[in-house]
Amino acid sequence: MRPLVLRCAAAAIVVLLAALLGGCVATRKDSAAAERLFVDSGCGNCHTLAAAGTRGNVGPNLDQLKPDARTVVQQVSHGGNGMPSFAGKLSSKEILDLAGYVKGAAAGATVDTAFHPDRTAIEDCSRGKPSCYEQAFGNLTYRRGPRVALPRLASYIATHPKVERNCHRIAHAMGRAGLARLKDPGRAFAQGSAVCWSGYYHGILEGGFAGTSRDDLAGKARELCSDPSLRRDQFLLYQCVHGLGHGLMLITAYDLPRALSTCDHLATTWYQQSCTGGVFMENFTSFSQVRSKWLKAGDLLYPCDRVVPRHKYYCYDQVTSRILRVVRWDWHKTARICRTAERRWIAVCFQSFGRDVSSVVRKDRRRAVALCRIAREHTTDCVYAVTRDIVNQDGGKYGRAVRFCNISPAQSRRRCFVGIGTIVAVRERSLARRKIACERLSRRWATACLAGTGYRSPALPHSSQRRRGGANAS
C-alpha cells in the first residue's frame, strides 16, 4: 500500500475525512467497532496489524508502513497495486472509520523484537535464504545455547558464502534467541562472542526491549547494560550500549528522533554517543528489513545534514551504507557524494566509506587498498576505517589488520596502526597491557598503535633502537 496521488474522484470523501477526523477523539467503543470492521472485511487476510491481531503477508505490513488516514481512504476506495476497491462493499463512513483506526493502530505499533522458536533446522536452508538461516541459527541458539551455536556460525561463515554475506543479520537473530533462552542480558553476553561484527551482542539488546512501552524506554535502556560483568569489560560494555541503539529503533518502529532522544538521556557522553551509533546503523541498514522513513531518495546524506551537531559524527560514520545501495555500489559516485558533505564531516564520510570497503571485500586486502585509493586525498581516512573494521570482523584478533596495514599506502600506514590502537584501547584496560599488545603487533609501528589507545608519549622506551623493517604480527 504505497502512498498514491489523490484522484479527483476521491475529493469528496477526503473533504469528509478532514471534517470527521480533524480534532475528533475516538472512544474505546469506536475503536473496537473499527477493529471488528478491519477483521470482518478481510483486511487481516492480506495485512499484518498487531493491534487487530492479524498476520497477513499478501499486502504490506501496516505496522511497518504506518500509512496516514488519507492514504488508507484512497487505497480502500479505489484499490490498486493488486488490492481491489472496497467502495461497493463499505459505506463512506465505514471507510473513514477504518482509515482512522488503521492510522492510529499502526502509528503506535512497534517491530516485534522477541525471538520466536520453531522447528527450522540449518539443514532446511538449502536454498540459502537469509531469513531461513536467521531462524535456524536462532533455533540452535535457543535450544543448545550460544556456546554451541556461535562456533557453528563461524564454521559456516568460512564455508558457506551466503551465510558469510548475511552473517551479521543471522548473528542478530542469535542474540535475540540467546536472551530468550538465558533470560538475563549479563548471562547472554557472558556466553557470547564477537563473531561477525558482534551481531550476537546487538541482537541481545533488540530482544531486551521486547514488550517495553514507549514511556518506559529510557528506564529500560539504562537497565539493560547495568550488569556488573558488562561494566568490568569495556569491549562488551560498548557492544551493549551500541546495541541499545539498534533495539531502540526497532521498538519504536524506526522513530529516529525518539531513539536519539532516549540515547541522549543515558548517563554519560560515551554512553550517549555509543548508543547513537547503533541508532544510525539501524536507520541506514535496517536489519529487520523495515525501510526507515528517515531516508530521502533526493538527498543521500540525509539525515546527517539535518541532525543536531552532537549527532553528526555517528550519522556520517554510517552514511555510505545507505549511499552505496542506492548508487548500486558505484564507489566513484559514492566518493563524489562524500565530497559534497558538510566540510567538517567529509573525512568522517570517508571513514564510513572505508568501513564499507572492508565489509564488501572481506579478506581481499589488495582490493581494499585499491578501493581506498578512490578516496584520493582521503585515502588515509579510508585505510583507518578498514583496519578498525577488520578487527571488528575478526572478533578482536589483530593479525589480519596488521597484514593489511603492511600493504597499505606508505602515507597511510601510521594512521592504519593508530586505527588498530583504538580497538586495543577498548579491549585492554591498563596502559601496561596496551603497551604489550602494541609491541607484539608491530615493533616499527608500536608508537602509532599506542597513540591510538590515547597514550600521548612521543615514543615507547627504547623505540629508537628498534629496527626499521616491516611490522610483525603476533
pLDDT for position 131? 87
Four-CA torsion 340, 343, 349, 353, nearest 10 degrees = 60
Confirm whether 289 is domain-assigned: no
Query: Residue 40 sits in a domain of what CATH number?
Result: 1.10.760.10
Confirm whether 322 is domain-assigned: no
pLDDT for position 193? 92
Q: Among 278, 301, 317, identify where a domain stops.
A: 278
Q: Check whether residue 386 and residue 272 sit in a common domain.
A: no
pLDDT for position 137? 98
- The three grid cell numbers given for residue 126, joined into one nine-digit string: 538449502
Confirm whether 24 is domain-assigned: yes
Confirm whether 299 is domain-assigned: no
Per-residue pLDDT of the chain (474 residues), as tens digits, is 433 333 433 444 444 444 444 444 445 456 677 777 888 888 888 888 877 777 776 777 787 667 777 778 888 888 776 688 888 888 888 888 888 888 777 666 666 778 999 999 999 998 888 889 999 999 999 999 999 999 999 999 999 998 998 898 899 999 999 999 999 998 999 999 988 888 899 899 888 988 888 788 889 999 999 888 888 888 889 889 999 999 899 888 889 999 999 999 998 999 999 999 999 999 998 766 567 889 998 999 999 999 999 999 999 999 999 999 999 999 999 999 999 999 999 999 999 999 999 999 978 999 999 999 999 999 999 999 999 999 988 877 899 999 999 999 999 999 999 999 999 998 888 899 999 999 999 999 999 999 999 876 544 443 333 333 333 332
pLDDT for position 385? 97
Q: Check whether residue 428 and residue 411 sit in a common domain.
A: yes
Q: Among 230, 262, 278, identify where a domain stops.
A: 278
Cβ atoms within 10 A of the Cβ of 341, count? Answer: 20
Q: Among 221, 247, 278, identify where a domain stops.
A: 278
pLDDT for position 281? 93
pLDDT for position 138? 97
Q: Check whether residue 254 and residue 132 sit in a common domain.
A: yes
pLDDT for position 23? 40
Confirm whether 325 is domain-assigned: no
pLDDT (tens digit per residue) in 318-332 = 999 999 999 999 999
Q: Check whether residue 89 and residue 128 sit in a common domain.
A: no
Domain that holds residue 171: 112-278
Q: Check whether residue 53 and residue 191 sit in a common domain.
A: no
Domains identified in the chain, total number:
3
Confirm whether 346 is domain-assigned: no
Q: Check whether residue 167 and residue 270 sit in a common domain.
A: yes
Q: Check whether residue 197 and residue 182 sit in a common domain.
A: yes
Q: Check whether residue 269 and residue 256 sit in a common domain.
A: yes
Q: Check whether residue 58 and residue 123 sit in a common domain.
A: no
- The three grid cell numbers given for residue 236, joined into one nine-digit string: 562488551
Give the predicted TM-score (pTM) of the model: 0.71
Q: Check whether residue 174 and residue 80 sit in a common domain.
A: no
Cβ atoms within 10 A of the Cβ of 249, count? Answer: 31
Q: Check whether residue 132 and residue 231 sit in a common domain.
A: yes
Confirm whether 148 is domain-assigned: yes
pLDDT for position 34? 77
Q: Check whether residue 372 and residue 425 sit in a common domain.
A: yes
Confirm whether 318 is domain-assigned: no
Query: What is the SS3 string spanning the chain?
Result: CCCCCCCHHHHHHHHHHHHHHCCCCCCHHHHHHHHHHHHHCCHHHHCEEHHHCEECCCCCCHHHHCCCHHHHHHHHHHCECCECCCCCCCCHHHHHHHHHHHHHHHHCCCCCCCCCCCCCCHHHCCCCCHHHHHHHHHHHHHHHCHHHHHHHHHHHHHHCHHHHHCHHHHHHHHHHHHHHHHCCHHHHHHCCCCHHHHHHHHHHHHHHCCCCCHHHHHHHHHHHCCCHHHHCCHHHHHHHHHHHHHHHHHHCCCCHHHHHHHHHCCCCHHHHHHHHHHHHHHHHHCCCCCCCCCCECCECCCCCCCCCHHHHHHHHCCCHHHHHHHCCCCHHHHHHHHCCCCHHHHHHHHHHHHHHHHHHHCCCHHHHHHHHHCCHHHHHHHHHHHHHHHHHHCCCCCHHHHHHHHHCCHHHHHHHHHHHHHHHHHHCCCHHHHHHHHHHHCCCCHHHHHHHCCCCCCCCCCHHHCCCCCCCCC
